[in-house]
Homo-oligomer: A and B are copies of this chain.
Amino acid sequence: MDNIKQLLAASKMAKTPCRVDMLHILLDSETALTEIEIKHKLSYDYDRATIFRNLRAFLKTGLLHAIALEGGEVRYQVSESRLQSHVHAHFHCKACSNLYCLNAVSLDKLNLPEGFEAEEFDLVVKGFCEKCTPEHAKHPRSAN
């Protein structure tokens, strides 16, 4: 709560109800969310332009980061350890389609072609999450 106030202050953004609500939702979420998911979880029906602009502003200040999935789906997440590492790793469940953040992934010794200079790594691992692995669920593979 107070945490959110600090986050906004650190980014020099006004503390408005919509922004607080958005960050609250994203901080509470175990998985990265789409713009529509965020909109649906908001306590008030804010205008889509407002949400759009706030997402854009959050990305600009680095408070959030976006992960693009196949099909053009974009999910947002609070960038907690953004500056510590340039590796962003996520796990995308093929059954429930949730997107989890993976920490502690190292990709240092990747052999790139001659003359290529790497700065960041975005990794998306696809499979089945703990709730949807064949052992735990019976019909999880229906989705894709």
Taking Cβ atoms with an 8 Å cutoff, the residues of A that contact B are 66-74, 91, 94, 100, 102, 104-105, 107, 110-130, 133-136
Find chain B residues with CB under 8 A from A111 CB.
Answer: 104-105
Instruction: Tell me the complex Cα distance, A114–B129, Å.
Output: 9
A95 → B minimal CB distance (Å): 10
If A121-B123, A121-B126 are given as contacts, then 11 extra A-B residue pairs at C-beta distance below 8 Å, sorted by A number, are A66-B70, A68-B74, A91-B118, A105-B111, A110-B125, A113-B130, A117-B127, A119-B127, A120-B126, A121-B124, A123-B123
B69 and A68 contacting across the interface, CB-CB below 8 Å: yes
Do A118 and B112 touch across chains, with their CB atoms under 8 A apart?
Answer: no
A45 to chain B, nearest CB (A): 24
A127 to B74 Cα, complex, angstroms: 21
Interface contact A116-B91, CB-CB below 8 Å? yes
Closest CB in chain B relative to A35 CB, distance in Å: 10
The 10 A-B residue pairs with the shortest CB-CB distance, nearest first, are: A115-B130, A68-B68, A118-B127, A120-B126, A119-B127, A122-B124, A117-B127, A117-B128, A123-B123, A118-B125
Contact A133 B120 (CB under 8 A): no
Q: Which of B68, B104, B118, B129 contacts A73 (CB 8 A)?
A: B68
